[in-house]
Amino acid sequence: MAIFGKGAVSGGFRTLKKAGFILESDEMARKQFFIIGSLLVLVAGCNSLTAVLGTLQPNLVTVELVNNSDFAVEITLFYDDDQDTIEEILVETGTERTFTLAAGGRSSFSVNCDDLQAIIIDNASLQIVGDVGPEANTDVLRDGNDFGCGDTIVFTFDHSDVLLDFDVTVTTQSGQ
């Protein structure tokens, strides 16, 4: 029998003495954990269970950019940690990200929910001939109204057969 710290290892079983409990095996440890957890919920109420489960919720918002056009698209977007910020302030003081997506290209990034409370595509430019082409943008999207924590916001850039008809569509995929 080998001794490791305050526990002993013997014959494939583990004996641990911790906080007054003797755990003979991993199975016994799981059972005691379940019993103690159940008692905690009974004593502390459902709010304690909600608090524990709340820590398991996703804490990221994912932004996906999809170029369904036949040309490259240059994109400038802004996001901020204040969901009530007005568009002008968001574009002046928010976090700026720029992307160039090739025809048929896509890109994505994730941001902590607390840091992405409002987002806008300030400028998307379809690059038909060099830097010349139509532009599009979106309204400000806000946490709680347009998306939630754990969601994926998908911005899709496309044009019709008339190349000047360029637009950005927004969809939200629920992470719940």
Quick one: 81 and 38 in the same domain? no
Share of the chain above pLDDT 70, in %: 67
Average pLDDT over residues 75-97: 97
Give me the domain span that covers residue 29.
Answer: 2-54
Residue partners of 167: CB distance under 8 A and separation at least 6: 136, 157, 158, 159
For residue 99, what pLDDT is reported?
98
Quick one: 6 and 44 in the same domain? yes
Residue 57, pLDDT above cutoff 80: no
- Two structure tokens written together for 66: 């999809």
The structure's pTM equals: 0.68
Helices 46-54 and 26-44: crossing angle in degrees, nearest 10, is: 120
For residue 161, what pLDDT is reported?
86
Q: How many domains does the chain have?
A: 2
The CATH number of the domain holding residue 161 is 2.60.40.2890
Q: Please report which confidence band the pLDDT of residue 6 belongs to, taking 50, 70 and 90 as the band edges.
A: very low
For residue 10, what pLDDT is reported?
45
3-state SS track over 40-69: HHHHHCHHHHHHHHHCCCCCEEEEEEEECC
152-159, strands of its sheet edge to edge: 106-112, 60-67, 152-159, 166-173
Quick one: 50 and 67 in the same domain? no
CB of 85 closer than 8 Å to CB of 118: yes
Average pLDDT value over all residues in the chain: 81
- Two structure tokens written together for 13: 């079983």
For residue 33, what pLDDT is reported?
54
pLDDT digits (tens, 9 = 90+) for 150-175: 999 999 999 988 878 999 999 999 98
For residue 129, what pLDDT is reported?
87
Quick one: 6 and 76 in the same domain? no
Of residues 113 and 56, more confidently modeled: 113
